[in-house]
Amino acid sequence: MKLTLRVEQRGSPGGRMRARGELDTLGESAGHIKQGLVKLKTKDL
């Protein structure tokens, strides 16, 4: 998030949109990542 704020302060519209898009993608993936970690923790490896 700090990177996005820094890009916004510098006034780079293309960079701002890319940074926001990447954060959205990470947010969408967070649930899948958490589910995978839970599955790994419950398996006897």
- State the angle between helix axes of 13-42 and 2-10 in degrees (0 to 180), rounded to the nearest 10: 170
Is the pTM for the entire model greater than 0.85?
Answer: no
Residue 35, pLDDT score: 92
Domain count, the chain: 1
What does R_g of the chain's alpha carbons equal in angstroms?
16
Residue pLDDT, tens place only, 1-45 = 676 677 777 777 777 778 778 888 888 899 899 999 999 998 865
Structural domain for 34, as ranges? 2-42
Phi, psi of 22 (to 5 degrees): -65, -40
